[in-house]
Structure 1
Amino acid sequence: MPHLLRRPLLPLVALALVLAACSGSDSGGASSSDGSSGTSTTTAPASTTAAPAATTTTVPTGVAAGAVAPGKAVRSSGCDTADGAKLSLAKQPIGDGRFYLISTPGGDGDTPRPLVLDLHGLLEGAQIHSQMSGFGPYSQEHGFVAVFPHGSGKPVKWDVGLDRKANPDLVYLDAVLDEVEARHCIDTSRVYATGLSYGAIMSSTLACVMGDRIAAIAPVAGLTVPEGCKPSRPIPVLTFHGTADPILLFNGGVANLSGLLGGSDEKTEPPKADLNGKGYPAAAAAWAKLDGCTGEPTDQDLTASVIQRTWECPADSPVEFDIEVGAGHSWPGSEFSKGIANIVGPTDDTIDGTDFIWKFFQRFQLPAT
């Protein structure tokens, strides 16, 4: 499929270094910073230009058609031995020099908890990304486990190749899930993946090759349909992208960041977004096709500045593309993201992305085997 990943990394590495300076002491001791990633492009459907005309229906946050109530939990091996301790972004070494962060809500150790994998962007790292999304404290408040894997290489990133046995990052993520499920009481039918930028691309990869473990995905600013993606089953998808993303452009490609990173006061405005054009609108349409959705998409007002795009999909595998009108390369509602607006552009504050993603995830679990 022509939804190719293009990775001109050098300007994005430079961006990440700027973000490292912006994060300062708030990084929790992390030595790496926020970054971005490659992007996806697709063949374009017929286009119309994107002035965000208001539509007639407002959809309440966290509600969409075809909701599926979770069934019986599938208990992991850790349910027999877990002590139920509360962990707050605890660093857990795994394998040869790798680690992940984990937050748990605490409890009796015998209640199976859902698990959310939250994947960082290029050079961002697990510690800083945990501040970006806020899934650590949010998971403790809402009774699930949040895991922040840390990528590989320098700069830290993800290998987004589709070979599950040969890709070391996929091997690592399988090992992380194995370990967490053995140490904690996890509902293995309710494991989900989200991420920002390069982490969004990696969560897309997980949907392609780990449909046996991942119940649903929610990529933020970087949904991709990699060439050769063949999910083992239809995967529920929620994705966000800002029309004014100055880094991964809404209609595909990576921006020229030389003015931004060179300290110039003159900022290049992103091109006017075509809501029905190539790039991320086409990537969402491609996922809808993979999931068996039909017909033309329907746009509704989710908030005053977010357009919810959906298709006629099977109830257990919807695709939802939330278009953030005027937003940049940011996590919806993130205070951390707002603090680096000079780099990533505006953050939409009409929606709490973390809360919205969790409400979406709660509707789905792996099919019974």
Structure 2
Amino acid sequence: MIRILIFLALFSTQANAQTNPDSILPDNPCHGQTACELDGREYHVKEPDGWDGVSPLPVLLHFHGWARTGAGPVYNGRISGATRRRGVLLIAPTGVNKTWNFRQSGSPDIAFANAALEDAAKRYPIDTSQIYVSGYSYGGLMAWRYACESGDRALAVMSISATLASSGHCDQQPTEFREVYGLRDTVLDFPYGPDGDTTFPVIFWRDQYGCGDATDETDYAITQRRAYTRTTWDCGPNKVTLDIHPGGHLIPRGWIGRQLDELLDRTPTYP
């Protein structure tokens, strides 16, 4: 009888771990909706589907939008839905008072984001050669600040519906910068350039990298509901990509997944 009770207890524990992806694992007490606490702050992490627990993981460091927390991205299908299907570890720090300090250089949020990466590396076998950064809205502005102050840690930075008006030179830059913006964005208005120039959102990075004229302009679609015009600048070892669409202030469905597919040299899929 005792053996039966022990077996049932073990079976119940294992079943709960399999059906509840946010159950606390003995060797990793924080993941999913359970925050990792660090230096009086917190971040969230989400493993990819089917991960074997051993293989090194590429990372997407994502900055949430205003008035949100890092808990949101781990269950957002347009964010963690993209990382989980592509073998990418999602790390989502939470901003102080649910916002980000991006307006001035020397932001403490840069240091915390890097501390979160280092702390996560103690829990997961992170592939430090494949770190990508993204952010939406205010988080997109934070991604810009990160790109300029700690961008040498990332292969690519992806900003969604945000452009930070910057000046001067960034000593630490990502290899690649990608931006997506909606022409009808009325939250962070689309930043048209002189004479209605729609390539103006990435003028800063084109100047940083010393880009010349655009090398390609292509129309493409990820879903039937949204099409993009992509403009690309190949700038020596660096690259700038701008995707614009006719919509508003949002994370376009499938956009993060498409970027990760391209950056990871995968055949693009949806979702």
Partner of 1:248: 188
Query: Structure 1's 137 and 119: CA in aligned 2 closer, same or farther, altered over 3 A?
Result: same
Q: How many residues align?
A: 234
Partner of 2:24: none
1:223: Cα distance to partner? 2.8
1:120: Cα distance to partner? 0.8
C-alpha RMSD of the superposition: 2.8
2:42 match: secondary structure: strand
Gaps of 5+ in 2: 1-26, 266-271
Verify the 8 A CA contact 1:244 1:328 in the aligned structure 2. yes
The whole-number CA distance in structure 1 between the counterparts of 2:131 and 2:187 is 30
Greater RCO, 1 or 2 (C-alpha within 8 Å, sep 6+):
1
1:122: Cα distance to partner? 1.2
Verify the 8 A CA contact 2:78 2:251 in the aligned structure 1. no
1:282: Cα distance to partner? 1.8
Verify the 8 A CA contact 1:206 1:214 in the aligned structure 2. no
Corresponding position: 1:289 with 2:231: no
The whole-number CA distance in structure 2 between the counterparts of 1:149 and 1:86 is 13
The whole-number CA distance in structure 2 between the counterparts of 1:177 and 1:208 is 17
Partner of 1:201: 141
Q: Percent identity?
A: 24
Following superposition of structure 1 onto structure 2, how do residues 178-197 of structure 1 map, counting pairs within 5 Å? Answer: 178-197=118-137
The whole-number CA distance in structure 1 between the counterparts of 2:117 and 2:234 is 32
1:288: Cα distance to partner? 1.7
2:218 match: secondary structure: strand
Corresponding position: 1:146 with 2:90: yes
Corresponding position: 1:101 with 2:44: yes
The residue identity in structure 1 corresponding to 2:43 is: Y
Partner of 2:101: 159
1:126 match: secondary structure: coil
The whole-number CA distance in structure 2 between the counterparts of 1:284 and 1:293 is 11
Query: Structure 1's 143 and 84: CA in aligned 2 closer, same or farther, altered over 3 A?
Result: farther
Query: Structure 1's 195 and 181: CA in aligned 2 closer, same or farther, altered over 3 A?
Result: same
The residue identity in structure 2 corresponding to 1:308 is: R
The residue identity in structure 2 corresponding to 1:313 is: C
1:249: Cα distance to partner? 1.1
Partner of 2:158: 218
Deviations 1:73-103 (CA, angstroms, capped at 9, x unpaired) = xxxxxxxxxx69995344211111x111110
2:151 match: secondary structure: coil
1:186: Cα distance to partner? 0.3
2:60 match: secondary structure: strand
Q: Greater share of strand residues, 1 or 2?
A: 2
Q: Provide TM-score, normalisation by structure 1.
A: 0.57
Partner of 2:23: none
Partner of 2:240: 319
Partner of 1:122: 66
Deviations 1:95-130 (CA, angstroms, capped at 9, x unpaired) = 11x111110136443321101011111112222344
1:357 pairs, out of 247, 259, 270, with 259
1:88 pairs, out of 14, 26, 32, with 32
1:131: Cα distance to partner? 4.4
Moved more, 192-201 or 106-115: 106-115
The whole-number CA distance in structure 2 between the counterparts of 1:128 and 1:294 is 39
Gaps of 5+ in 1: 1-82, 253-272, 334-351, 364-369
Partner of 1:230: 170
Verify the 8 A CA contact 1:100 1:147 in the aligned structure 2. yes
The whole-number CA distance in structure 2 between the counterparts of 1:122 and 1:143 is 27
1:300: Cα distance to partner? 1.9
Partner of 1:267: none
1:235: Cα distance to partner? 2.9
Moved more, 197-206 or 352-361: 352-361
1:226: Cα distance to partner? 2.4
The residue identity in structure 1 corresponding to 2:227 is: S
Partner of 1:305: 227
Corresponding position: 1:332 with 2:234: no
Verify the 8 A CA contact 1:209 1:229 in the aligned structure 2. no
Partner of 1:171: 111
1:215: Cα distance to partner? 1.6
Verify the 8 A CA contact 2:32 2:71 in the aligned structure 1. no
The whole-number CA distance in structure 2 between the counterparts of 1:89 and 1:302 is 35
Deviations 1:276-321 (CA, angstroms, capped at 9, x unpaired) = 15xxx3231221221232124643212373111112423x421110
Verify the 8 A CA contact 2:73 2:79 in the aligned structure 1. no
Verify the 8 A CA contact 1:84 1:107 in the aligned structure 2. no
The whole-number CA distance in structure 2 between the counterparts of 1:293 and 1:197 is 25
Partner of 2:19: none
